[in-house]
Chains A and B, each alone.
Chain A
């Protein structure tokens, strides 16, 4: 089966750093994606990891450990506009019916 776990909610302070974790259990693995979704809006692509290690893109970084089935999204210098849901998604090539499996998302609230 497929299972992707993320914390439901997190709160962090403006200017701080926050780490959003994602663990996955899938039959196969062919990449992990992070998306940002503001309430009522479309998910927007943030990052993609297929090899172990850290991918940095401005204030956002994403880390992957395939052996542990684990990823995190790191947000630095938090801004109020970063308040959103962050979705972890895994591509499982062994899943014949679901190209991309999404977690339920982590709702991040940035407070002053």
Chain B
């Protein structure tokens, strides 16, 4: 158990819908990262927040957005869902951004299925 929690574990929805994935980082971690992993694909970095502020942005679609709240939990919002958005979505957290030894610890993931 990494200490990172994600809800829900599974989510099944229809095309065109909007969903919100939630992540709580490990106690003391200020950075939160979101990744997408499709079947047989590597981890694709979406976005990073550090202490409430956006720190880095990867190949995140405009239909997707995220935020980090004052209590440091984060939410990833996916809208106008398409079949191709079906994937595992992982959240990771680390103590701080940029420190050389900073290690990311991953949550159990949310499996999104778009029908």
A-side interface residues toward B, CB under 8 Å? Answer: 30-31, 33, 35, 40-45, 48, 50, 87, 91, 93, 96-105
Asked if A48 and B101 sit within 8 Å, CB to CB, the answer is yes
Q: Which of B61-69, B78-86, B105-113 contacts A (4 or more CB under 8 A)?
A: B105-113
Report whether A104 and B97 are in contact in the complex, using a CB–CB cutoff of 8 Å.
Answer: no
A41-B111 Cα distance, complex, nearest whole Å: 10
For B97, B104, B107, the residue with the greatest tally of chain A CB atoms inside 10 Å of its CB is B104
Main secondary structure of the interface of B (DSSP, over half): loop
Residues of A within 8 A of B21 (CB): none
Counting CB contacts under 8 A, is B24 at the interface?
Answer: no
- In the complex, the answer to whether B2 meets A44 with C-beta atoms within 8 Å is yes
User: Which residue from chain B places its CB closest to the CB of A107 in the assembled complex?
Assistant: B40
Can you show 14 pairs from A to B with CB atoms below 8 A apart?
A: A31-B101, A33-B103, A40-B88, A41-B109, A42-B4, A42-B107, A42-B109, A44-B106, A48-B101, A50-B101, A87-B42, A96-B56, A97-B57, A99-B33
Selected from A35, A50, A93, A98, the residue in CB contact (under 8 A) with B58 is A98
The minimal Cβ–Cβ distance linking B112 to chain A, given in whole angstroms, is 13
